Amino acid sequence: MMKYLWHDERLTYDGTQLSSLFAYRNFSIQGNSIIGFQGPCHVSIEEMVDLADVKQNAHIYSLKMVHFIVEVFEMDLVKTVYIQRILVSLVKEILEKLSVQGVVRRGDDLYIADKKLSVSIATLSPVSTMIHFGINVSSEDTPVPTLGLNDLNIDAVVFGEMLLKEFSDEVESVNMARCKVRGVL
């Protein structure tokens, strides 16, 4: 089961949110979960977990994003990266349901016509694996050319709540797909 919660208050994502039991500490949500909220994104080099970004000194900044923090209480990071990819695919699919065309996924990034929509990372904590996914609401002042939900006329809350629900459903559907087959030789 993947519990979910939309948190209605603004929260700046500065990287420290990607720490174990984020949902339990802040929202008393215990177990695998996805939490959504809005707020600026500003991750300093010290807080970055993606060493590819650190090596390139890539700045992660956005005036306003919808953020999602996923926690999975298993220690298999490869599996969690697959979960992350499915999360990113779902974002693309939800945008399509909201009539946005031309969204392209490359790994864990989303683009429209080479403008970047999102940032994402997956990593291990001492007790779990975790994903951050952020999609721009505003596209102003970003370090690379971006597009945001505002540019696409998508309401951030409508989008956020759809993703929470569909991601939770997808995880449940995967768990059930595992429990309906006989083995083969």
Q: Which is nearer to a second copy, 20 or 138 (CB)?
A: 20
Neighbouring C-beta atoms of residue 90, cutoff 10 Å: 17
Dihedrals phi, psi of 86, to nearest 5 degrees: -65, -40
**CA 136/CA 4 separation, integer angstroms:** 20
Q: Are 20 and 50 spatial neighbours (Cβ–Cβ below 8 Å)? A: no
User: Interface residues for a second copy in 89-118 (CB under 8 A)?
Assistant: 89, 93, 101, 104-105, 107-108
**CA 130/CA 87 separation, integer angstroms:** 12
Please tell me whether residue 56 binds a second copy under the rule CB under 8 A: no
Angle in degrees, 0-180, between the axes of helices 77-97 and 156-177, rounded to the nearest 10: 130
Token output for 97? 């349901």
Q: Are 120 and 133 spatial neighbours (Cβ–Cβ below 8 Å)? A: yes
CB of 26 to a second copy, least distance (A): 10
Q: Are 2 and 33 spatial neighbours (Cβ–Cβ below 8 Å)? A: yes
Find the binder of a second copy among 10, 44, 45, 76 (CB under 8 A): 76
Q: Which is nearer to a second copy, 113 or 180 (CB)?
A: 180
Stretch that binds a second copy, among 51-59, 133-141, 143-151, 155-163 (CB under 8 A): 51-59
Q: What are the angstrom distances between the C-alpha of 50 and each of 17, 43, 141, 167, 176?
A: 15, 11, 22, 23, 32
**CA 158/CA 180 separation, integer angstroms:** 33
Stretch that binds a second copy, among 37-45, 58-66, 70-78, 137-145 (CB under 8 A): 70-78
Please tell me whether residue 180 binds a second copy under the rule CB under 8 A: yes
Please tell me whether residue 45 binds a second copy under the rule CB under 8 A: no
Stretch that binds a second copy, among 37-45, 147-155, 157-165, 176-184 (CB under 8 A): 176-184
Binding-site size, a second copy (CB under 8 A):
58
Judged by the rule CB under 8 A, the positions of this chain that interact with a second copy are 1, 18-21, 24-25, 28, 30-32, 49-52, 55, 73, 75-79, 81-86, 89, 93, 101, 104-105, 107-108, 121-128, 130, 170, 173-185
